[in-house]
Structure 1
Amino acid sequence: MSLIQYLKDRHLFLLINFVLFIIICVIMNLANVGMGIILLIFCIWFIPLFSLISMEFIKFKKFYDELNSTAEGLDKKYLLFEIVKEPDFIEGRLIYDLLKQINKAMHEHVKKYRDMQNEYREYIETWIHEIKTPIASTRLIIENNQTEVTKNIDYEIKKIEDYIEQVLYYSRSNNVSKDYIIKEVSLVEVVKNAIKKNSRDFINKRISVDIEAVYGSVYSDAKWLEFILNQIIGNSIKYCKRNEDKVKIYSARNRDNIILTIEDNGIGITSKDINRVFEKGFTGENGRRFGKSTGIGLYLCRKLCKQLGLGLTLTSQTGEGTKVNIIFPLGNIKYR
């Protein structure tokens, strides 16, 4: 708040005082009152007036400047009135009390929807747990009745399980810190587990896999890392060209990090879509052409990598393939 702004806000009060003083001056002049008396009245009138205005300006400016500086230093600005001091003037106290009531109502409103979100997430996790029972029973029936039809059913059930797993990880993605355990993880083991999970698709589509150049260990959560790899490998399989298809996975150490790369020679991604592949729900030209994309997989991978403190980048050229890099900061890595 500047002095000019404050005086503009008080202009009516000042104008009334000046008009009244001029009227009194005219009356005193008609009554032949000397200029010395008029000047004395001016001093008695306006010196206390200007002193009061100056004191009020300093008091208001101090409060509002402190309010602004405190707000600028907060990441969560809605916590402002939890730490700001209550002002000692009536207008400030009225504003303070009103905003405190608004802040309290906002917290109650947010809590209501947070509780609803938590209840929904708990329901989803319970549903996922329950749905695994009939799926396990179906797999048991299939194992006892092996035919070409049941093999196809088993293949489709595997897809259902993948989508269920994606729902589970999506529901937990905002609270990943409560679910992961950081420990030393062998990149080779995690990659092999992800390859094994997709082995049937690799065999059916005759896609070769090269993991000879995967080395080292990282500190991360094996379960979440395996899920991220599974989503990326699934995309490589989904958008293969069916002509000498190949997925190559390898790791490399740089000065500041270790990078695990998943590279394929599939159809690639168009240049207009490349910058949007991590957006939630974005399917792009390939997703519309093949009709298999949900637009959730890569979005979820980016979100989980961020939660785990990992980097995730993607490069691609149409018709030549796609390369995805998972970047592990060197401070969190043991390389052997």
Structure 2
Amino acid sequence: MSMKEYLKDRTIFLLINFILFTVICGIMLLINISTSIIFLIFFIWFFPIFTYITIEFTKQKILYNELNSIMDNLDKKYLLAEIMKEPDHIEGKLLYDLLRQANKEMHEHVKNYRDRENEYREYIETWVHEIKTPIASTRLIIENNQNHITRNIKDEIKKIEEYIEQVLYYSRSNNVSKDYLIKEVSLADLVRSVIKRNSRDFISKGITIDIEGVEGTVYSDAKWLEFILNQLIGNATKYNRERDGRVTIDSVRNENNIILTIEDNGIGILDKDINRVFEKGFTGENGRKFGESTGIGLYLCKKLADQLGLGLVLESDAGEGTKVSIIFPLGGINLMC
């Protein structure tokens, strides 16, 4: 706030005083009052006014500069009313009280929505656990009645389980910090576990898999990593070639990180879609062509990787294949080979 802006805001007040003084000055000239007395009256009239304006301007400038400084250094801007000091002048106090009241109302609304979100998440998690019972029963029936039809049903049940797992991880994705357990994770064991889960897909599509280059141990949450890796390997299987499909998984240790790479020789991703693959709900040309994409898998992978402090990078050439890298940084807790 500048003095020019402050005076502009008080133009009417100053204009009225100047008009009144001009009228009185005219009357004094008509009755032959000396010029020195008129200047004295001008000084007596306007000195207190400009002194008051200067003091008020200084007080308000200090207040608003302080508020701007707080806002610049505050991550959560809505907490301004909680941090600012109560002003000592009436306008500032009114503003302070209004901000406090608005902040209180906002907190109540946020709490209401947060409670509703938690209730919905708890319901989803409960539903996921409940739905596992009929799925397990269905699997048992299939195991006791093996034939071509039941094997196809089993494949569809696997897809249902993966979508259910995706729902569960999506519901928890905003609360990763409350649900993860950091421990040593062998990359080779992790990859083998995910490959085993997807073995029928590799066999049915005739896709060869090479995991000889995977080695090393990292510190992270095995459950969340397995979900991320399963999504990436599932995509490598889904969008691979019908013949001569290949998926190669290896790891490389650098000075500052360990990089786990999943590479396929599938259909690849178009250049126009490559920068949007991690967007929520984005399916792209391949998703529309295959009709099975939800646009949630890669979005969840990226979101979970960010919350676990991992990098996730995707490279692709249309018609040539796709390469996805999970980057495990070497931080305060060293990753080990």
Structure 2 counterparts to residues 270-309 of structure 1, below 5 A: 270-309=270-309
Q: Secondary structure in 2 aligned to 1:328?
A: strand
SS in 2 for 1:272: helix
* CA shift for structure 1 position 334: 2.4
The aligned residue for residue 114 of structure 2 is 114
Q: Which residue of 2 aligns with 1:91?
A: 91
- Residues 205, 242 of structure 2: 8 Å contact kept: yes
State the 1:335 CA deviation. 3.1
In 2: Cα distance, 1:66 partner to 1:229 partner: 49
- Among all aligned residue pairs of Structure 1 and Structure 2, give the percentage whose two residues are the same amino acid: 71
> What is aligned with 2:23?
23
1:135 maps to 135
Of the structure 1 ranges 100-109 and 276-285, higher mean CA displacement relative to structure 2 is found in: 100-109
- Residue correspondence of structure 1 range 5-84 to structure 2 within 5 A: 5-84=5-84
Deviations 1:274-327 (A, max 9, x none): 000000000000000111100000000000000000000000001110000000
CA contact (8 A) 1:264 1:322 kept: yes
Q: Distance in 2 between matches of 1:318 and 1:243?
A: 17
Alignment RMSD, CA only? 0.8
Deviates more, 1:94-103 or 1:255-264: 94-103
CA distance in 2, matches of 1:271, 1:36: 84
**Alpha-carbon distance in 2 for matches of 1:135, 1:290:** 26
Q: Which residue of 2 aligns with 1:123?
A: 123
1:258/1:333 contact within 8 Å kept: no
| Contact 1:207–1:247, Cα closer than 8 Å, also in 2 | yes
TM-score (norm 1): 0.99
- TM superposition shift of 1:91: 1.0
2:254 is aligned to 254
Contact 2:206–2:243 at 8 Å: present in 1 too? no
Residue 189 in structure 1 maps to residue 226 in structure 2: no
- Which consecutive residues of structure 2, in runs of 5 or more, have no partner in the other structure? none
- Write the distance in 1 (CA, Å) between the matches of 2:298 and 2:263: 15
**Do the aligned partners of 1:250 and 1:260 also contact (CA within 8 Å) in 2?**
yes
Aligned residue number for residue 336 of structure 2: 335
**1:275 & 1:282 partners in 2: Cα distance?**
11
Deviation at 1:240, TM superposition (A): 1.0
Aligned residues: 336
SS in 1 for 2:323: strand
Match of 1:156?
156
Residue in 2 aligned with 1:311?
311
Structure 1: any 5+ residue segments left out of the alignment? Answer: none
How far apart in 1 are the matches of 2:268 and 2:111?
44
Secondary structure at 1:184 match in 2:
strand
2:166 matched to which residue of 1? 166
Q: Structure 2-normalised TM-score?
A: 0.98
- List 4+ stretches of structure 1 deviating above 4 A: none
